[in-house]
With several copies, the nearest count.
Chain A
């Protein structure tokens, strides 16, 4: 029998994948069964028999050319942490958007507190106690942190004018910020925060709602280790308060740590459910991609010893830390990992190396020769490429097709007498699509409709289609599923083996340790140390990240 995310007994086993309409019917039956059982409350049934706070039945959602969700059913019980995993484009965000009222499903019902709906609105969703941290950030740069946290639910002063009580706003915001481990105050303008700091604000915002269910759509995708730990603690605290959490992440070890139950999505359908004691990395991977991964998302060892220094920064100062010079060199054929805490200035450094921002001092050298970068175009001309941190804003053009995005940096090569050849573009794009396994109907598909992970692959593809000398990747696997991660690591290694100098900025500790040949760690705008392979350990990286000496 096809089983659902409902446990009838203590027996733990991996459920079979369910499909299509059948699952919806079963869900209904299960629901009936479950409500029936409520009358015979039995200790052995435990938490699982508490009436679900929310349930989805037979939910289906299509986009032009894509079935994002198909006959999906799910129940969420109070105080339960559900880990939701699946490959890029499996439909996780779509599912959450339906719960958040941002999109409406084509078919299926959503039952909240026993009331069935065809779809929710944002207000209804918030009204029934669903708090939502979106995968893409949704903050207002022109407002301060406190205003953002309580946006839409501002404390009001007495009187008919609906004036905002600004003092209370601040006092309410402060403890929330503390809880997520923020190092900035409630009246900081959001425009001054880094991406990770903004993510903390988003989480604080979700916590501020008197929520019964908190949905976290890849909240840790740009959070470094310490902050991630704090978030996982927060999740545990929520659970203790009887609040349910749906936690989406591609970092499976995080899911392992907090989830009571793991729901795996594949191609918009339920691939299976793992009860608490069956949650482990390999099982999740198996359900997600239908097979076991041999290597645990690691890059292969480098094929040859690193060569000479390709790109180096000598006493370069960035606008994030104008008084702190940075010295760093990336060698040919190596993957240099760059780790550090939130706001340690890694992105800023990458921007300077790529010519987007002017350095405030010091020199850059490429192959031993001084290099002056007036703009990103100069960097590209010199073979220095950057895969930026924020792909929606800076990585790709959502409105252009995959092919057009891939050819954009190298358009003259796809043109004759400066007239663009659509055929040449398509040829390049097809090749990249195949190489990287980009999941899309065709290369003419608008990139905006791709899932986050596939968008990231497009960003990579546009640089791989050219011949890089130095490749800088800022959080390259942010929001990328593990299957694709392994592929990207493979690509990075292949680049390095082809003699490219690879600089990988990452906040994912496993990734930094698993992929790099050397690790440089940044602390407050400076390189606090460089670790060689034999010195690699989480502890050493963390020590350097807070400015202490490694062991």
Chain B
């Protein structure tokens, strides 16, 4: 765990402690379980986003994809009677295809990620709304899918299964991002794509793979969200979720210029954001201030982090010089 992540963890704990002192019910197992459920949902989304951000890209269509795939998933299993073991991989595949399309447009046709995914944001929401004719996709009363519900909305030993899913995904993705060759390429491309190309890396494929990973993880979280709300009005479902995901990554130390950030960071960023939402409700802060609190904390977090790293760099430089000065004459 880097020092940056540690700082974020401390912030989370301090905020948690303050809230717990004001309202001890914050620490009730049921509250922690509820919040960790949402951490699971948004965390999966944020990890996907992180893979794209690390390459220096951005994925703005996340919220719309959550709406579109959520609508399709509910429609498939609730209305069209498709079995969920068929629908689930189908949706994941669709997510992958969307990611592939974005990656293709970005790497092969050289379009800017912001532009491609902005168009995605508009198009997918439009398609979702058209698909339901602006209606709501939902389950009928009493319609049940016990195994699916257990996997998505259920709990094991009091821990939401969505949170467990996040942990598993996070571990796998940590290995991929921080230990595998692929992860290393992602970092390299994020910093200097041209140089990576000169080193014989098929940068196009690597970047495309990042978008596919993002697409699949987004699809997965779309299913989780669908099973959480159990009803999706495509005009508003998932709106701004891309901002949550990006905010989580940024809080977690990712640079939108690419090439920086850690998986632990993005998880901690998600945790902090959800803690803030929980806090607004638990402390009875007017809901209208929800966004303002979130924005304020992100800004402060980023500021502190930035100032701190300036300070650290200066200290490091001093130290290095001192060491260098001591060592040099001996050479």
Are B198 and A102 in contact (CB-based, < 8 A)? yes
Measured between beta carbons, the chain A residues less than 8 angstroms from B201 are 151-152, 377, 408-409
Q: Does B321 contact A (CB under 8 A)?
A: yes
Of the residues B176, B181, B197, B204, contact of A411 by C-beta under 8 Å: B181
Other-chain contact of A420, B184, B195, B319 (Cβ < 8 Å) = B184
8 Å CB contact of B200 from A163, A379, A395, A418? A379
Does residue B165 face the partner (Cβ distance < 8 Å to A)?
no
Q: Are B195 and A395 in contact (CB under 8 A)?
A: yes
Instruction: Give Cα distance in the complex from A214 to B175, angstroms.
Output: 35
Alpha-carbon distance A395/B196, docked complex (angstroms): 9
Choose one: B182, B198, B322; the contact of A356 (CB below 8 Å): B198
Q: How far is the CA of A147 from the CA of B181 in the complex (A)?
A: 10
* Residues in B neighbouring A20, C-beta threshold 8 A: 328-329
Contact residue among A64, A151, A524 (Cβ-Cβ distance under 8 Å from B328): A524
Q: Quick check: B324 and A524 within 8 Å, CB to CB?
A: yes
* Chain A interfacial residues counted at CB < 8 A: 74
> With A and B bound together, what is the CA distance between A319 and B324 in angstroms?
13
Give the CA-CA distance A67 to B318 in the complex, in Å. Answer: 12
B192, B204, B318: the one within 8 Å of A397 (CB):
B192
B198 adjacent to A138 (CB under 8 Å): yes
Is A393 an interface residue, CB under 8 A from the partner? Answer: yes
List of B residues within 8 angstroms of A386 by Cβ: 198
Task: Return the contact of B195 from the options A19, A319, A394 (Cβ within 8 A).
Answer: A394
- In angstroms, Cα B319 to Cα A215, docked, is 31
A370 to B331, CA, bound (A): 38
Q: Which residues of B contact A531 (CB under 8 A)?
A: none
Given known A67-B324, A151-B188, A397-B188, contact A322–B202 (CB-CB < 8 A)? no
Q: Do A163 and B179 touch (CB < 8 A)?
A: yes
The answer to whether B259 touches A142, judged by C-beta atoms less than 8 angstroms apart, is yes
State how many angstroms separate the Cβ of B215 from the closest Cβ of chain A. 21
Residue from the list B180, B197, B324 in contact with A161, Cβ < 8 A: B180
Let me know if B187 is at the binding interface, CB within 8 A.
yes
Q: Contact between B192 and A63 (Cβ–Cβ < 8 Å)?
A: no
| CB atoms of A161 and B317 under 8 A apart | no
Q: Are B328's CB and A397's CB within 8 A?
A: no
- Give the contacts of A114-170 with B (CB-CB under 8 A): 122-123, 125-126, 132, 134, 138-143, 147, 151-152, 154, 156, 161-164
Inter-subunit contact B321/A393 (CB<8 Å): no
**Binary interface encoding of chain A residues 305-340 relative to chain B, with 1 for a CB under 8 A from any of its CBs, else 0:** 000000000000001111110000000000000000
A547 within 8 A of B: yes
Contacts of B316 in A (CB 8 A): 64
Is A241 part of the contact surface with B, judged by Cβ < 8 Å?
Answer: no
B155 contact set on A, CB distance < 8 A: none
Q: Is the CB of A547 within 8 A of B198?
A: no
Check if A418 sits within 8 Å of B321, measured CB to CB.
no
Binds B, one of A37-45, A80-88, A398-406, A477-485: A398-406
Find A154's partner among B181, B192, B319, B322 (CB 8 Å cutoff): B181
Inter-chain CA distance A462–B314, complex, in Å, is 32
| Residues of the B chain whose Cβ atoms lie less than 8 Å from the Cβ of A376 | 197-200
B192 touches A62 (CB 8 A): no
In the complex, the chain A residue whose C-beta lies closest to that of B329 is A20
Interface residues of A in 72-120 (CB under 8 A from B): 100-102, 106
Q: Is B325's CB within 8 Å of the partner chain A?
A: yes
Scan residues 169-183 of chain B and give those whose CB is less than 8 A from a CB of chain A: 175-176, 179-183
Q: Given the complex of chains A and B, what is the CA–CA distance between A396 and B260 in angstroms?
A: 17
Is there a chain B Cβ closer than 8 Å to A65's Cβ?
A: yes
Q: What 0/1 pattern do residues 274 to 307 of B give for CB contact below 8 A with A?
A: 0000000000000000000000000000000000
The reply to whether A134 and B198 contact each other, CB–CB distance below 8 Å, is yes
User: Interface size class for chain B?
Assistant: 35 or more
Q: Which of the residues A70, A183, A356, A524 comes within 8 Å of B197, measured between beta carbons?
A: A356
- Tell me which residues across on chain A come within 8 A of B183, comparing CB atoms: 420
For residue A388, which residues in chain B have a CB less than 8 angstroms away from its CB?
198
Given contacts A64-B317, A140-B192, A399-B192, is CB(A122)–CB(B198) below 8 Å? yes
Cβ-defined contact, B329 with A21, below 8 A: yes
A105–B190 CA distance with the chains assembled, in angstroms: 29
B241 at the A interface (CB under 8 A): no
A12 at the interface (CB under 8 A from B): no
CA distance A339 to B117 in the complex (A): 46
B4 interfacial by beta-carbon distance below 8 Å: no
Q: Does B194 contact A (CB under 8 A)?
A: yes
Given contacts A140-B188, A143-B187, A323-B325, whether A393 and B181 have CB atoms under 8 Å apart is no
Measured in the bound complex, the distance between the Cα atoms of B329 and A233 in whole Å is 25
Whether A412 sits at the interface, judged by CB under 8 Å, is yes
Q: Do residues B195 and A418 form an inter-chain contact, with CB atoms below 8 A? A: no
Question: Which residues of chain A come closer than 8 Å to B202, judged between CB atoms?
Answer: 123, 375, 377
A323 to B321, CA, bound (A): 8
Q: Which residues of B contact A292 (CB under 8 A)?
A: none
Interface hub of A123, A151, A420 (most chain B Cβ within 10 A): A151
Q: Does A380 contact B (CB under 8 A)?
A: yes
Alpha-carbon gap, A399 to B331, bound state (A):
31
- Write the chain A residue with the least CB distance to B313: A64
Bound form: Cα–Cα A19–B329 in Å: 8
A62 engages B191 (CB within 8 Å): no
Q: Could you mark each residue 257-295 of chain A with 1 if its beta carbon is under 8 Å from any beta carbon of chain B, else 0?
A: 000000000010000000000000000000000000000
Query: Do B181 and A396 touch across chains, with their CB atoms under 8 A apart?
Result: no
Whether A408 touches B188, Cβ cut-off 8 Å, given contacts A164-B181, A322-B317, A377-B200, is yes
Known: A21-B329, A67-B328, A141-B191. A62 touches B182 (CB 8 A): no
B320 at the A interface (CB under 8 A): yes
* Complexed CA–CA distance, A183 and B330 (Å): 13
Give chain B residues whose Cβ lies under 8 Å from the Cβ of A101: 200
Give the shortest distance, in Å, between B45 (CB) and chain A (any CB).
Answer: 24
Name the residue on B nearest A462 (C-beta).
Answer: B199
- Contact partners of A122 in chain B: CB under 8 A: 197-200
- Taken together as a complex, chains A and B put the C-alpha atoms of A323 and B191 apart, in Å, by 32
Q: Which residue of B lies closest to A376 (CB)?
A: B200
Chain A residue at smallest Cβ distance from B54: A142
A415 at the interface (CB under 8 A from B): yes
Whether a CB of chain A sits under 8 angstroms from the CB of B26 is no
Assess whether A63 is in contact with B191, with CB atoms less than 8 Å apart.
no
Query: What mask results when residues 438 to 456 of chain A are scored 1 for a CB within 8 Å of chain B, else 0?
Result: 0000000000000000000
Contact A408 B199 (CB under 8 A): yes
Closest to B202 in A: A377
The answer, yes or no, to whether B224 is at the interface (CB within 8 Å) is: no
Contact partner of A156 (CB less than 8 A), chosen from B181, B187, B318, B328, is B181
Task: Specify which chain B residues have a CB less than 8 angstroms from the CB of A547 in the assembled complex.
Answer: 328-329
Is B191 in contact with A397, judged by CB distance below 8 angstroms? Answer: yes
Most B Cβ at <10 Å: residue of A324, A356, A411: A411
CA distance A165 to B197 in the complex (A): 22
- Given known A-B contacts A64-B316, A70-B328, A138-B199, A398 and B192 have beta carbons under 8 A apart: yes
User: Of all chain A residues, which has the CB nearest B327?
Assistant: A67
- Could you tell me the distance between the alpha carbons of A216 and B184 in the complex, rounded to whole angstroms? 26
The 8 Å CB contact of B198, one of A320, A322, A395, is A395
Inter-chain CA distance A125–B320, complex, in Å, is 27
A11 sits at the interface (CB 8 A):
no
Give Cα distance in the complex from A80 to B324, angstroms: 33
Whether the pair A62, B195 counts as a contact (CB closer than 8 A) is: no
Known: A142-B187, A143-B184. 19 other contacts (CB 8 A): A67-B327, A122-B198, A140-B188, A140-B191, A141-B259, A152-B201, A154-B184, A163-B179, A183-B331, A324-B325, A375-B204, A377-B201, A377-B202, A388-B198, A396-B195, A397-B192, A400-B187, A419-B180, A462-B199
Closest 5 CB pairs of A and B: A380-B200, A138-B195, A67-B324, A152-B199, A122-B200
Q: Name 24 interchain pairs, CB-CB below 8 A, sorted by A.
A: A62-B324, A70-B324, A141-B259, A142-B188, A142-B191, A143-B191, A147-B184, A151-B188, A162-B181, A163-B181, A183-B331, A267-B331, A323-B318, A324-B325, A394-B195, A397-B188, A397-B195, A404-B184, A408-B188, A411-B185, A412-B181, A415-B180, A419-B175, A524-B324
